[in-house]
Structure 1
Amino acid sequence: MDKIFLFDALREATDEEMQMDKSVFVLGEDIGHYGGSYKVTKDLHIKYGDIRVLDTPIAENSFMGMAIGAAMTGLRPVVEGMNMSFLLLAFNQISNNAGMLRYTSGGNFKIPLVIRGPGGVGKQLGAEHSQRLEAYFQAIPGLKIVACSTPYNAKGLLKSAIRDNNPVIFFEHVLLYNLKGDIPKNEYFLPLDKAELVRCGSDVTIVTYSRMRYHVLQATDILVKQGYDPEVIDLISLKPIDIISIVESLKKTHRLLIVEECMKTGGIAAELIAQVNDNYFDLLDAPMIRLSSQDIPTPYNGTLEKATVVQPEQVIDAVQKLLS
């Protein structure tokens, strides 16, 4: 096992797939000679040249359209969004082209496209750089969405995403790039549609994803000392949601707490609650609780920014409430 940073795990995955398959190429703003804003593509242009590691103009709608066209003709583009919120400028291409073309062409075209980059609430990056776009893309038919949370799953998921024949939105959290973790020396892949059981427990099921995994684990350490036994699931796959893993957990705990950085209105938790309520309501012994970010633009002020995002103390309070 090697212990590496999350951004290096993503870089390794990209490098290995580019070396294995000449149809894989990377494009985006400052991803060539600069190496990307978070160094995920550092020095890859030296190894693969300026065509396979392609610096683009600041024109998201244009280079997204180019990437979709390249995917239609047999290439496997990996688009890096310097910040995922910038990709709202390419929303038309992602929804009306990437998500639909395989269906509207009657299966004549495959769209093996990965759209990856940093998102989430950082540290005083301001409202326009702190957006949580999971719910925006979750409503688009034809897309797969994953959110990595560790160096291990980041590498395994990205390799699987690059080899998938469908468009994959690949969320990375801006505050997790410097997270270190163990990576196997041998090649491995992880499924794009499965949640991860992070901790086994019997009292309550806590479902989370991305950076909130670590807020939940901080809270769990305290809850265990207080005599509680929470089960923690990292969704990873936001579309489709791995409802089966969650249901198996609810059969033991009969209580559900969802912790997300997404906005409360129309967020991932809202969809998950709807699915459980529609199909598995009888498993519940208490009302479901969701902890989500405030429905406001993220403030620049550090204290106010912190107040908009779920904190470990809120997770502790919610579990105590569910089990009281």
Structure 2
Amino acid sequence: MAAALRVLSRAGLHRSPGPLRRGFRASPPAAVQVTVRDALNQALDEELERDERVFLLGEEVAQYDGAYKISRGLWKKYGDKRIIDTPISEMGFTGIAVGAAMAGLRPICEFMTFNFSMQAIDQVINSAAKTYYMSSGMVSVPVVFRGPNGTSAGVGAQHSQCFAAWYGHCPGLKVVSPWSSEDARGLLKSAIRDDNPVVMLEHELMYGVPFEMSEETQSKDFLVPIGKAKIERPGTHITLVSHSRPVGHCLEAAAVLAKEGVECEVINLRTIRPMDVETIEASIMKTNNLVTVEGGWPQFGVGAEICARIMEGPAFNYLDAPAVRVTGADVPMPYAKILEENCIPQVKDIIFAVKKTLNI
């Protein structure tokens, strides 16, 4: 055997495998930068290819490639039967999507903005969310309602509000709110495969933001489980809980505070309903302090729900100070840029809340 190897080696046909050479370590595959927009596009493409029951409908999703280019290239690839342009009638095409789901298909219904979903809220709540219960489990409604949610930039009061609390209030719906490209890709694929109606609240200002994605998170089999939060940054002094775009603000605030010796644990909720209270409780039991951050209004908001759950649960006894909420201002969104900025939680607001809670 040794002689045979020597012959092969002289002929250049035998080489020791790289990782066995002394001092050599195989480097992991390099992460690549993927925007939230491209992550959503990839997820749609893969799920349309995987399951012929999946189709996308909404305003300008087909020939125009989507108002935000989320569905770029899909109409050319899958055609009119799978990528369907609709009239400007949210109540109409949302009803079509819900009916198709009841009939066994798996529609993805895109709202150009969730502000326009108010036109179709009867279909989302009374038709989609309640049918499984009212049919005694005989009729499932596997539909995804998705599109940009929350504050935009310079579009006024009727286009800049967060509907996380609105839809999170309703039993029968699952509600997800991604921040990163990994969140967007993994949650959308999970939502499409789920047998329940899922509301996916994306953020318009995040579509063009790139995030590093590993080879694993780009796999066709990669899913982000609905109902499970993610600890984006571990810490010991205070817990910051957020969802969607403000998660990035929390991480920025945590980086600033770390220079002052304050270590924040940042939790990315990912899912509004069902809410992963266990992860929040475990964090509070370690840090003994809580600040919630969201872009929505304060009254009956996501932060208010988190505070109530903590008040009622075992983690309350671990708090060293009252929980603090950082939210959008309790007003309709102004159009003027400087007023708009003052209505949206900023990094400085989070830092102020943390210092107030820790009394520093």
Q: Secondary structure at the match of 2:327?
A: strand
Deviation at 1:2, TM superposition (A): 3.2
Deviation at 1:79, TM superposition (A): 0.5
What amino acid maps onto 1:2 in structure 2?
A: V
Deviation at 1:135, TM superposition (A): 1.3
Q: Corresponding residue for 1:58?
A: 88
Q: Corresponding residue for 1:314?
A: 349
Structure 1 residue 180 and structure 2 residue 248: aligned? no
Q: Secondary structure at the match of 1:50?
A: coil
Deviation at 1:284, TM superposition (A): 1.1
Larger Rg: 2
What amino acid maps onto 2:80 in structure 1?
A: D
| TM-score, with structure 2 as normaliser | 0.89
Deviation at 1:225, TM superposition (A): 0.4
The match for 2:329 among 294, 298, 319 is 294
Structure 1 residue 227 and structure 2 residue 257: aligned? no
User: What CA distance in whole angstroms lies between the structure 2 residues aligned with 1:118 and 1:106?
Assistant: 33
Deviation at 1:278, TM superposition (A): 1.1
Structure 1 residue 22 and structure 2 residue 52: aligned? yes
The match for 2:157 among 119, 127, 138 is 127
| TM-align CA RMSD | 0.9
Q: Corresponding residue for 2:274?
A: 240
| TM-score, with structure 1 as normaliser | 0.98
What amino acid maps onto 2:177 in structure 1?
A: A
Structure 1 residue 217 and structure 2 residue 275: aligned? no
- CA deviations over 1:40-98 (Å, ceiling 9, x no partner): 10121111111210001111011111101100111000011001110010001111011
Provide structure 2 residue ranges, at least 5 long, that are not aligned to the other structure.
Answer: 1-30
- The aligned length equals 324
Q: Corresponding residue for 1:142?
A: 172
Q: Secondary structure at the match of 1:112?
A: coil
Q: Corresponding residue for 2:197?
A: 167
Provide structure 1 residue ranges, at least 5 long, that are not aligned to the other structure.
Answer: none
Structure 1 residue 151 and structure 2 residue 181: aligned? yes
Deviation at 1:140, TM superposition (A): 1.1
What amino acid maps onto 1:238 in structure 2?
A: I
- CA deviations over 1:91-139 (Å, ceiling 9, x no partner): 0111101100011011111111100001111111111111111111111
The structure with higher relative contact order (CA 8 Å, sep 6+) is 1
Structure 1 residue 254 and structure 2 residue 288: aligned? yes
Q: Corresponding residue for 2:105?
A: 75
Identity in percent: 41
Q: Secondary structure at the match of 1:271?
A: helix
Bigger strand share = 1
User: What CA distance in whole angstroms lies between the structure 1 residues aligned with 2:174 and 2:219?
Assistant: 26
